[in-house]
Amino acid sequence: MRTQVAIIGAGPAGLLLAHLLRRAGVESVVLETRSQEYVAARIRAGILEQSSVDLLTAAGLGDRLHAEGHPHRGIHLQWPGERHHLDFVDLTGRSVWVYGQTEVQKDLVDANTATVVYEVSDVALHDLTGSPHVTYTSADGTPGRVDAAAIAGCDGSFGPSRASVPGQTWERTYPYSWLGILADVAPSTDELIYAWHPDGFALHSMRSPTVSRLYLQVPNGTDAGSWSDQRVWDELATRLGHGQDGWKLTPGPITEKSVLPMRSFVQTPMRHGRLFLAGDAAHIVPPTGAKGLNLAIADVALLAPALTALLRHNDPTLADRYSDTASRRVWRCTHFSWWMTTMLHIGEDPFDAQLQLSQLRWVTSSEAGAAGLAENYAGLPIGF
Ligand code: APR
Ligand code: PHB
């Protein structure tokens, strides 16, 4: 078949790109290895920056987000004996929203604007500087081919698109992981708590008034099954400061438990010929700054108008700038995610721990320090 843009991957990057292109009058076909149910059920990030909310709203995807999402003014940062609230609205005029990636994905599927072929295999990209096309095998075993004027690689960190772009990669692995749980219990906090603790970092997040999402720093290679529910709640209570100034952590039934590795990865350029990378296909951030989903949305917010100008008006200006413009934001978020991660996680060296505490005291007591964190967390404007 022939279309204007072949999109590889039906995660938030791929589906949002298809949606924005359709609204701009550009046709696309999305190829996805997994089933629609699998993609819809994946538990991922949960925080949207103001600019992501603005973009989704302008794209006609904001109804449920505004009805069911929760705007937060900021976050709590804490270490033993102290908890401080950083108010992003006061500091930067911008807020963040609690609205799960699962919900964003559902809104995109419900919008029904993308033509998606699910459960394909053997996806391969061809002739990226000539007549671009993608070959695949469909679920029933028949071979398929999509010819397109451009290809968008939105296939996450394990897809084939990344390897088709010659360029440079940068990588940092971290000596710890997160054990994440989802629990059917009301959050014990109004806004997220990021906790530094000698036993390791902990984060109290949430998905709704009845569902909490919490994380514990654990050593790499940890088996989630080796942590009983009781042990998880005990450790969360210790690290999040149960009892401190009367604050209580309420435990509840755990519905999901998994271990997430932490990695920073950047590949540039984000373009080769007629192939453009967006989202996790081009970059991975550790989750501490809540940037992964927002970066994918920001990439696509730049890529959709660039492809529209290229394919509808034969104007390559934005497409030629795409990689440089997107990479600037990618590096800002890569730095911020690394900075939040290294400020909050416990390593081997007691010298580092003192530096972390000093940094935390500065960020929570100096308006300049707080504003820097707030500006990055609440998000810089797309294309800054
Ligand atoms: N062919 C087609 N699709 C593929 C292939 C392939 N060979 N390989 C992977 N995919 C699909 C995956 O199954 C997945 O559905 O590409 C999709 C990529 O989606 P995501 O991993 O969600 O990546 P992205 O859309 O860039 O969104 C980034 O996801 O990992 C989180 O923190 C990250 O929140 C951020 C968001
Ligand atoms: C989440 O709710 O999953 C979440 C929130 C904030 C983070 C990371 C993950 O920094």
pLDDT tens digits, residue range 196-207?
Answer: 999 999 999 999
- What average pLDDT score do residues 232-260 get? 97
**Tokens representing 48?**
């949207």
Burial class, 200, CB count within 10 angstroms (exposed 0-12 / middle 13-18 / buried 19+): buried
Angle at which helices 367-378 and 350-365 cross, to 10°: 90
- What single-letter amino acid sits at 29? V
Ligand 2 nearest atom to the CA of residue 290, by list position: 10
Q: Which of 136, 174, 176, 194 is catalytic?
A: 194
Ligand 1 nearest atom to the CA of residue 279, by list position: 26
Q: pLDDT tens digits for 252-286?
A: 999 999 999 999 999 999 999 999 999 999 999 99
pLDDT band at 45 (very low <50, low <70, confident <90, very high): confident
| pLDDT of 296 | 97
Q: Is 72 a catalytic residue?
A: yes
Instruction: Please count the other Cβ atoms lying within 10 Å of the Cβ belonging to residue 53.
Output: 24
Q: Is 377 a catalytic residue?
A: yes
9 pocket-lining for ligand 1 (C-beta < 6 Å): yes
Residues with CB under 6 A from ligand 2: 45-47, 192, 205, 213, 287-288, 290
Q: Which residues pair with 264 in a beta bridge?
A: 172
Rounded to whole angstroms, the Cα distance separating 236 from 185 reads 14
Rounded to whole angstroms, the Cα distance separating 14 from 263 reads 22
